[in-house]
Amino acid sequence: MSDEKLASIPTGLVNDNALVSAVRNTYMSFLERRDALGLSNPGTFENINREVSKDVFLTNFMFTGLRAEWNKPISNSPIFQLSHQLSMGAPGMSPYTFSALYGSSKVFLQGTMENDGSLAARSNYRWSDSLITKTNAQIQSSQSMLSIENDYSGRDFTASLKAMNPSIIEGGVKGIFIASYLQSVTSRLALGIEGVWQRVAMNSAPEAILSYGARYKGSDWIASLQMQSEGPQGSVVSSSYWRKLTDKVSVGTDLNLQFAPGLSGQGGLMGGGLQKEGSASAGAKYEFRASTFRAQVDSKGRLSCLLEKTILPAMRVTFAGEMDHLKQQAKVGVGVSVEAMSEDLMEQAEKGGVQAPAVPF
């Protein structure tokens, strides 16, 4: 009887309501204007300058000492791979590292174990085409770390929420919590904001940091600007510029400026002086038929370069070097990577019979 009463309620009472109609019409007009702009997803706030920091610059590629890596693909769909890595003379690198990787269209799993017993694990799970949860855990003899991140990618925006070492077992909340949002405003411009709240221990006061960012995309260049406000501790302004000169050559620059209140006896009056510090970096990336060369120089006198050369379809050699002119120091790295793929997998790859899934890396 109750269902019949609900069904008998005329929908016109809702549809003919002036307030509801005004809100609906405003929302539909907003969607139409939004579609007319042709906006695209700008990526995450964390990677607002990804072309410079993760593609041109050597930050994620540089190493020293000797390194040998042996990869054994087991399957292409789903992706399953084992890896052994040996290193020598590299500060901070374990002499031996074993890792396993698994990837499907919804799940990405990676585990790493070093010779001293340190463990690291990564897992990504795609709940839908828009929502991905990323988990990263590390267990070491000195310290452990856990981070959980959720990324929601809309048609023209990305929202992220990340927690690092969260805990409530000590009578309060501690850890590092990061929330960010990046929105495409026009087909070329994207604006974003990021907030960080952290408390190291319960006996220390919490700290909050706000960052603002902008990203502008031209026909063959991308510029980004970020400003981080740390309250009374000062602020940081960073900008980057990336340009694709040809199909094989791209360049990038990065400029960082730090402003902090001057302290008594350190070049400024108490509460009145302002300390300023800056650094600049420039890099280039050259892609050849069977090799990739990267070079970078910064205002601190460091010159770095890295060459990746594919000798055979299953073998790659990497040469890395860095010179610090101010400290009169030089570092060199040589690495060899071998991929031991079985004959069946090689035939599948050549024929294109098995397509690798879109793994949520």
Q: What pLDDT is recorded for position 234?
A: 78
Contact between 332 and 321 (Cβ < 8 Å): yes
Q: What pLDDT is recorded for position 276?
A: 83
The phi and psi torsions of 291 (rounded to 5 degrees) equal -155, 165
Contact between 333 and 320 (Cβ < 8 Å): yes
The phi and psi torsions of 225 (rounded to 5 degrees) equal -140, 135
Lookup result for tokens 């016109």: 12
Identity at 98, one-letter amino acid code:
F
Q: What pLDDT is recorded for position 270?
A: 47
Q: What pLDDT is recorded for position 7?
A: 46
Structure tokens given for 176: 């590092």
Task: Please spell the DSSP secondary structure of 19-88, one letter per residue.
Answer: HHHHHHHHHHHHHHHHHHHT------STTTTHHIIIIISSTTT---EEEEEEEEEEEETTEEEEEEEEEE
**pLDDT tens track, the chain, 361 positions:** 444 444 444 555 555 677 877 888 887 887 777 777 788 999 999 999 999 999 999 988 999 999 999 999 988 888 999 999 999 987 778 899 999 999 999 999 999 999 988 999 999 999 999 999 999 999 987 788 999 999 999 999 999 999 999 988 888 889 999 999 999 999 899 999 999 999 988 888 888 999 999 999 999 999 999 999 876 677 899 999 999 999 999 999 999 998 887 644 444 444 556 788 899 999 999 999 999 999 999 999 999 999 999 998 889 999 999 999 888 899 999 999 999 877 676 666 666 655 666 777 6
Q: What pLDDT is recorded for position 12?
A: 54
Structure tokens given for 99: 């890792």
Kindly state the DSSP code that residue 232 receives in the 8-state scheme: G
Q: What pLDDT is recorded for position 15?
A: 59
Pairwise CA distance, residues 45 & 126, whole Å: 19
